Structure 1
Amino acid sequence: MIHLFIILALLINGLCSSENPGPFLPTDYNGPFSLTVKKTPSSYKGCDSATKFIVGIISHPSEFYFRNFIRNNWGAPAYRTCRTTKLIFLMGNSDDFKIDKQVEQEANRYSDILLLDYHETYNLVARKVFGFFRYVNQNCPNVKCVLKGDSDTVINLSGMEKLCEIMPNENHTITGYYGYDIPHRDVESKWYTPYFVYPFNKWPSLVSGFSYLLSGYGIVPRLLNTLRTKTAFFTSENTRRLWEDIFFTGIVRNLAGIPLVHNTGFHWGNNVDYWWHDGKRIILSLETRTSCTKLCTIEYAWNLVKANRRENNFPISRECNLRSLREAPTFRNFTGSSIRKATGRKRRPNWTRHVA
């Protein structure tokens, strides 16, 4: 029954409180919500009926270097040879006219940017992820797997395709680095959440936001329907300001009844861990800011991923590994694997937030 109380709490409109609202509104805005699209990826660079796997990378408009690094390095196969896997960037507007003008030129040049008409701030990332899911729902009719990533995370596309293949076709799951989190009540915290926005002492189980995989045909429409019918997202600005991984992989996922799957191949920093599959150890993604043992850079993380790709004999020049997913093997019990259904038991006591 806890989710009913969560929804009631999120529907509170401007509850009087002596708390500092931080990035939230002291009196909630309940007017109409819309999210206009300024620029959509071309059908060649974005989704079409052949797309089985779509990667959406959230990026701040000023992160030109990160986006070009992805296009020229770990994301290059999605551009060159693999027609079933696509990669797009997700952005809003900055507060700098020159940067916004450059972004428009970049979008025209590469045709791989979903540009949303709202002002970028840290607390508005949830609407960017919503815009991505809405785009997938409207343009990707045959997609099985949807990966959300951050621009400073290095992703092993071949490894993710392998993971997508073995996930069930029809059973919906969200895979990533699983853990608990508690609301931060310190107003100085980057993740401060006042009691009048969320009065409970623990968030629903979730996966860390640097990258996570939605799998199973129809999972995105299911999440969007839950968003519309069981949350206050469209009627509460404070709800839309909640942290995107907490909101989508925690609250919305929990209301939709979609299970989490913990996979140690999703990891942060350079303290590498692996997904063990068919006798191979596979790095799936590395977030490059937190818990670093060496250099906290995307270049260093990409070198680690490249070495792991060579170790596993993943192809370099031709990367269309994803088979017709309708013919993919069914989900099985992974005895001895590092992938497992997440339970209510906390994975590690020092799990912390890692949201871009």
Structure 2
Amino acid sequence: MRVSLKDVALHAGVSIKTVSNVVNNYQHVTPAMRARVQSAIDELGYRPNLTARHLRKGRTGIIALAVPELGNPYFAELAGAVVDAAATHDFTVLLDHTGGNREKEVLVSQGFRARVIDGLILSPLELEAEDLLGREDDVPMVLLGEREYDLPYDHIAIDNVAAARIAVRHLLSRGRTRIAFLGARTDSANRPAHLRLAGWRAELADAGLAAPDSQVGPTGGWDRGDGAEAMARMLDAGVRPDAVFAYNDLVAIGAMRVLHERGLRVPWDVAVVGFDDIAEGRFGAVTLTTVSPDKTAIARLAVESLLRSLANGSQGEGREITAPFRLIERESTLGRR
């Protein structure tokens, strides 16, 4: 039979209210009383009925996370961090995969699962501001990523321009002067690729270096194959960079494969910096220097923002929240020590 609060109270010799205060981590319980109740909880194997707790508040205890591509290691790792962050608040996460498709992102944002979720964390690629202007669903929503919407929803992102500048600055500090950028896009200007490209240009300009178009490698996507194709096109065109700053780690890994096939050594002939700090970059034959967004912080900020809106009875507050990042230096720019 399921152990109840009453069972724990009888075992500990306290009131049911005291047990409830301990279970809900209320601060006014004395340390001695908390230890006494916790001992009874442990001995009886009591587990809170989270479903009942959420239902009493008119909630389901479920939040949704919608990302463009679960097959992309960055989004997979981010999803794991969101699940962990939500669990600390006794929430379960429902994962959705939009494929970066605008219609699917609109469908998700308009609340087609509103009856089963308490809130939504959405990382869109194609969604436009006008898609959200007429949003009728009152489920709280938090937006991730670098799209700028100027709408009443909390938005969490890193400073992509600053991150790109730090990556390029590191390459300059290693004596590199012909630094290519791989992963440029020709569409919407407020996407992270454009912000990272802007950071690349700005840092080169401050160093008094040119940023020729020949050193910009556009890609149709941001996977390993896209990076390999862009690197091969650049080398086939006779452009020989001494460093590469890639849009993300997958593009960087694809580029490094082509450099190896062409007999160019990383980092001695060409240094490489990626972006995202995915696990794959830490275990290659040459480990990858990368910009590391704090995925744990992004997840925590997203969940806390969502629950804040839920507690306030609002869809969001329109706050712009900047998450931290750092550059992690590895063999692809430093060589083996």
Q: Same fold (TM over 0.5)?
A: no
Which is higher, the Rg of structure 1 or of structure 2? 2
Q: Which has the higher contact order (CA 8 A, sep 6+)?
A: 1
Higher helix share: 2
**TM-score after normalising by structure 2:** 0.26
